Amino acid sequence: MYLAGVKDLYTKELVGYAINKRMTADLVCRALNMAVKNKSPSQGLIVHSDRGSQYCSHAYHKTIKHHFKGSMSGKGNCFDNAPIESFWGTLKNELVYHQDYKTRFTATNEITQYIELYYNQTRIQKGLGYRSPRQVWFDFYRQAA
Return the top range by mean pLDDT from 50-54, 56-60, 127-131. Answer: 127-131
Q: Which residues contact 12 (CB under 8 A, 6 or more apart)?
A: 83, 125, 127, 128, 133, 136
Q: Supply the pLDDT for residue 82.
A: 86
Between 5-9, 46-50, 67-71, 73-77, the lowest mean confidence (pLDDT) is in: 73-77
The pLDDT tens digits for 33-43 are: 999 999 988 88
What three-state secondary structure class fits 126?
helix
Which of 68, 24, 75 is closest to 48 using CA atoms?
68
Q: Supply the pLDDT for residue 35.
A: 94
Give the phi and the psi of residue 14 in degrees, each rounded to 5.
-80, 105
**Residue 99, CA distances (Å) to 19, 88, 104, 110, 122 in order:** 17, 15, 12, 10, 21
pTM reported for the whole predicted model: 0.90
**Which domains are present in the chain?**
2-81+101-144 (3.30.420.10)
- Category of 3 on φ-ψ map: left (φ > 0), alpha (ψ -120 to 50) or beta: beta
The pLDDT tens digits for 91-143 are: 999 999 999 999 999 999 999 999 999 999 999 999 999 999 999 999 998 99
